[in-house]
């Protein structure tokens, strides 16, 4: 951090700041400029109390330099992480090959999921998605099949070898969901549920962490930090759109977070254009844009009969549209040196 002193501060005030910095077991480097004096503080200051310095007489402001997250940061882990996803196809996320998590918003019934799983595998998907526990805004709407839904997903994995990703909504569901799933999904509404983040951090399953719809970049990274800090390094970030004043789309897909994550973190990031737009016709172009921007994968909702889907039909692709989207996105992937 850098402590910027007020114009006209006294030498004693600077010395006092230096003394406090040394008490924090950090090094100081005083730079006397023509108008201002600043004290550069050297060392890892992320867990030090900045407010002590901020309230010192003669201090104008304290500017942090290091990111507040640490183990999710590229500074402590320069190589990008490649996360093994489970299933028998050797799927990973973060390497040259893009990972595509596709499937229905909700697990509705056995034949629906098995049929979709085969179609997704055929067209190059690597992970089957589907919610068994659904976080619904309206308590009177379909809440998911629960454990029955998990059993159906597991059967689809047996038949296809696809890894399974599904949402876990609460701490008391973690062990149950981890028994069936290969990847535990934390939904947007739970990104700030710190007890849940710690609970999935204590499992040995990779975690797909969706961005909270009102969270900042730093809050998103700090949520990932909770999981890693609890012992689980296998975190995949997912941009799924944020809430803005725009009403034409369900959410605003904030694709610029992709290069930000690539610069600041070693964690892979995938993009979910279904929830990020809410409109099926936008999904193919946003898939291409996400891959062009450097995303490590995609999450795509697919349904045999989107008009009659129990949840999120308006943003779901038919299997044919999914096949076409994969084909078009593959061309972009090749252009940016990735495989799909």
Residue closer to ligand PEP by CB (options 83, 300) is 300
CB of 273 to ligand PEP, least distance (A): 11
Residue closer to ligand PEP by CB (options 33, 139) is 139
> Are the C-beta atoms of 265 and 221 separated by less than 8 Å?
yes
Provide the mask over 135-154, with x wherever binding to ligand PEP is found by CB under 6 A and - wherever it is not.
x-------------------
Residue closer to Mn ion by CB (options 173, 251) is 251
- With binding defined as CB under 6 A, does residue 104 bind ligand PEP? no
Residue from 212, 271, 312, 333 in contact with Mn ion (CB under 5 A):
312
Three-state secondary-structure class, residue 196 = helix
The footprint of Mn ion on residues 76-105 (CB under 5 A) is: 105
b or e along 125-152 (b: 16 or more beta carbons within 10 Å of the residue's beta carbon)? bbbbbbbbbbeeeeeeeebbbeeebbeb
DSSP tag of 3: E
> Are the C-beta atoms of 288 and 328 separated by less than 8 Å?
yes
> Are the C-beta atoms of 28 and 18 separated by less than 8 Å?
yes
> Are the C-beta atoms of 163 and 86 separated by less than 8 Å?
yes
Residue closer to Mn ion by CB (options 162, 309) is 309
CB of 173 to ligand PEP, least distance (A): 14
Residue closer to ligand PEP by CB (options 250, 338) is 250
What residues are paired with 111 via a beta bridge?
none
The footprint of ligand PEP on residues 197-256 (CB under 6 A) is: 210, 240
CA 186 to chain CA centroid, nearest Å: 9
Closest-by-Cβ residue to Mn ion is 105
> Are the C-beta atoms of 130 and 149 separated by less than 8 Å?
yes
b or e along 188-205 (b: 16 or more beta carbons within 10 Å of the residue's beta carbon)? bebbebeebbbbbbebeb
Residue from 37, 166, 188, 277 in contact with ligand PEP (CB under 6 A):
188
CB of 40 to ligand PEP, least distance (A): 41
- Residue in the block written with tokens 């149950």: 176
Count interface residues toward Mn ion (CB under 5 A).
2
CB of 207 to ligand PEP, least distance (A): 13
Three-state secondary-structure class, residue 12 = helix
Residue from 86, 125, 131, 319 in contact with ligand PEP (CB under 6 A):
131
Strands 269-271, 235-239: pairing kind: parallel
> Are the C-beta atoms of 206 and 228 separated by less than 8 Å?
no
Q: Which does 338 bind (CB under 5 to 8 A by kind): Mn ion, ligand PEP, none?
A: none
CB of 105 to ligand PEP, least distance (A): 5
Three-state secondary-structure class, residue 212 = coil
- With binding defined as CB under 6 A, does residue 303 bind ligand PEP? no
- With binding defined as CB under 6 A, does residue 277 bind ligand PEP? no
CB of 131 to Mn ion, least distance (A): 7
Candidates 151-159, 180-188, 224-232, 308-316; binding stretch for Mn ion (CB under 5 A): 308-316
> Which residues of this protein are in contact with ligand PEP, per CB under 6 A?
105, 131, 135, 187-188, 210, 240, 275
């Amino acid at each position: 951090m850098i402590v910027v002193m007020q114009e006209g501060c006294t030498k004693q005030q600077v010395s006092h700041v230096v003394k406090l910095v040394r008490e924090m077991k950090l090094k100081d480097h005083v730079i006397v400029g023509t108008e201002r004096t600043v004290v550069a503080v050297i060392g890892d200051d992320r867990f030090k109390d900045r407010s002590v310095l901020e309230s010192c007489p003669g201090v104008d402001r304290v500017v942090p330099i290091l990111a507040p997250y640490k183990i999710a940061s590229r500074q402590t882990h320069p190589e990008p992480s490649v996360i093994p996803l489970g299933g028998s196809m050797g799927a990973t996320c973060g390497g040259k090959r893009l990972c595509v998590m596709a499937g229905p918003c909700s697990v509705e019934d056995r034949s629906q999921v098995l049929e979709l799983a085969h179609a997704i595998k055929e067209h190059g998907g690597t992970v089957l998605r589907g919610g068994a526990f659904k976080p619904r805004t309206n308590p009177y709407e379909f809440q998911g099949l629960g454990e029955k839904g998990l059993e159906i997903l597991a059967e689809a994995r047996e038949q296809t070898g696809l890894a399974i990703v599904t949402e876990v909504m609460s701490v008391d569901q973690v062990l149950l969901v981890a028994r069936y799933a290969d990847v535990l999904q934390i939904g947007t509404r739970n990104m700030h549920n710190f007890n849940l983040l710690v609970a999935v951090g204590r499992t040995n399953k990779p975690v797909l962490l969706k961005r909270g719809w009102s969270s900042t970049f730093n809050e998103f990274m700090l949520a990932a930090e909770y999981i890693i800090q609890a012992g689980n390094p296998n975190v995949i970030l997912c941009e799924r759109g944020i809430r803005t004043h725009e009403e034409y789309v369900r959410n605003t897909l904030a694709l610029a977070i992709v290069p930000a994550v690539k610069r600041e973190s070693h964690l892979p990031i995938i993009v979910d254009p279904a929830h990020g737009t809410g409109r099926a016709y936008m999904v193919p172009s946003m898939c291409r844009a996400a891959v062009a921007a450097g995303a490590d994968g995609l999450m795509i909702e697919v349904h045999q009969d989107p008009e009659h889907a129990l949840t999120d039909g308006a943003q779901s692709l038919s299997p044919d549209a999914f096949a076409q989207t994969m084909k078009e996105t593959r061309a972009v992937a090749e252009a940016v040196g990735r495989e799909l």
